[in-house]
């Protein structure tokens, strides 16, 4: 039996500077980030199917990151790393410029009440940080069951000339995220994808 990998968690050497990807991965490979990876069903399935791609899962819940870490190590997924971190901070401060080939933002918390909209991840600064950290032609896949939030994010991205809409990413059945699979099968899902121009 393959020995279990050591912890896949990432701790920045300096929390004010971008992480050194070369200390984590073979950086000649594409780098993909699952923002708010939750319990990791999507991330783990995707990483298992794409061993030549580097994956980083970011989530602010320690319990979830620990569980995904354990599962990834059991599965021997040496191409996965995990960071317990607030995603806005991670993308704006810790992800290096021009490094990300694909962002997955799947079912982010929608904060449906108007007075809570400030808590939503998508705003101008987040969009600037996504753009800064993506490689040319890098992709961003967004999905949510909260259709007003979907329309808002799609409108923000469509209005930004730095991004071009491409056909929406649809995960295969084995990649459907925990949230999609267990809780919202019965709801309509908004999906859109954009490419960095
Ligand atoms: C609704 S769940 C979706 C999880 C996963 N993407 C899925 O589709 O199953 C939202 C996840 O994002 C995480 N999350 C929410 N806001 C976050 C933030 N600002 N930074 C990091 N993680 C966040 C939560 O802890 C939770 O695991």
Least confident of 6-20, 74-88, 96-110, 179-193: 179-193
Q: What's the whole-number average pLDDT of the chain?
A: 94
List 191's β-bridge partners, or say none: 143
pLDDT in tens, 34-73: 999 999 999 999 999 999 999 999 999 999 999 999 999 9
Ligand 1 pocket test, candidate residues 59, 123, 169, most atoms within 8 A of CB: 59
CA 141, CA 152: separation in Å to the nearest integer? Answer: 15
CA of 2 to the centre of ligand 1 (A): 31
Q: Does domain 32-184+186-190 have CATH number 3.40.50.150?
A: yes
Question: Does 61 sit in the ligand 1 pocket, CB within 6 Å?
Answer: yes
Q: In degrees, to the nearest 5, what angle opens at C-alpha 170 toward C-alphas 169 and 175?
A: 120
Question: Does 139 sit in the ligand 1 pocket, CB within 6 Å?
Answer: no
What residues act catalytically? 109
Strand ranges (DSSP E) for the chain?
31-35, 54-59, 80-84, 100-106, 134-144, 163-166, 190-196
When comparing pLDDT for 185 and 58, which is higher? 58
Torsional sign, CA 23, 89, 83, 145? negative
Residue ranges covered by each domain of the chain: 32-184+186-190
Question: Does 107 sit in the ligand 1 pocket, CB within 6 Å?
Answer: yes
């Amino acid at each position: 039996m393959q020995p279990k990998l050591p912890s896949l968690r990432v701790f920045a050497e300096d929390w004010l500077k971008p992480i050194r990807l070369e200390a984590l991965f073979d950086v000649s490979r594409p780098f993909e980030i699952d923002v708010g990876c939750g319990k990791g069903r999507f991330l783990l399935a995707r990483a298992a199917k794409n061993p030549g791609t580097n994956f980083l899962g970011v989530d602010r819940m320690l319990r979830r990151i620990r569980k995904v870490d354990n599962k990834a190590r059991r599965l021997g997924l040496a191409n996965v790393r995990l960071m317990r971190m607030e995603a806005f901070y991670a993308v704006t401060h810790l992800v290096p410029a021009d490094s990300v080939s694909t962002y997955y933002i799947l079912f982010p918390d929608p904060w449906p009440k108007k007075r809570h909209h400030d808590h939503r991840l998508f705003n101008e600064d987040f969009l600037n940080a996504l753009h800064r950290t993506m490689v040319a032609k890098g992709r961003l896949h967004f999905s949510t069951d909260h259709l007003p939030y979907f329309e808002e994010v799609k409108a923000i991205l469509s209005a930004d000339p730095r991004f071009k809409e491409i056909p929406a990413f649809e995960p295969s059945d084995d990649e459907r995220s925990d949230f999609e699979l267990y809780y919202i099968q019965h709801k309509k899902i908004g999906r859109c994808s954009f490419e960095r121009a």
